[in-house]
Amino acid sequence: MTTKNTATVSRASSAALNPQTAITIAVDTAYVAAQQGRNISQGIYMMDNRVRNGSTGEGTLELSTVCNNGDLIGFNVMPIDILGTSGDVVQITGFTVSQGNVFTAAGTPRVQTSPPGEPAGAYWIGQALNQGNQTYQIQIEVTVGVLQPVHYFVNWDPFITSR
């Protein structure tokens, strides 16, 4: 199952949705550009608000989130660039399930209206509808530069457990 970013935002207003599990992804855009978007094994820092539940891998690509069954899960991505002035942009472009079925088709993350000041595609919400373990792939687009933007597409496989 794959979900891709589209121009249409989910019918449910993200303002009305309040995720219990929050995942923030900070991307070192200079590192991604230096690697030309390939072989990314660092420079992407995933964090969640579920350490108390047993989440592990904070600050790495290997975040293993432990949420409660039924939780809405918010995904927010943001660039880390020099003093925030280089104009780099990071967007989530989709999710793919590699193994497991925590999200199910009905709970697969969907693009939402981004918070003020963030680009479209920076904020997605999914829902854990089954108990168990899942490996999912998250795909992002990193745009570096303003005069002549260069786009890099990066993906990796974090984990989620629903209890």
Kindly report, residue by residue over 20-33, the tens digit of the pLDDT. Answer: 999 999 999 999 99
**What is this structure's pTM?**
0.88
C-alpha distances in Å from residue 84, one per residue of 15, 101, 108: 26, 37, 31
The residue-averaged pLDDT of 81-108 equals 88
CA angle 161, 162, 163 (to 5 degrees): 120
Confidence of residue 85 (pLDDT cuts 50, 70, 90): low
Domains defined along the chain, listed by start: 2-162 (2.60.40)
Tokens at 35, concatenated: 């690697």
| SS3 state at 76 | strand
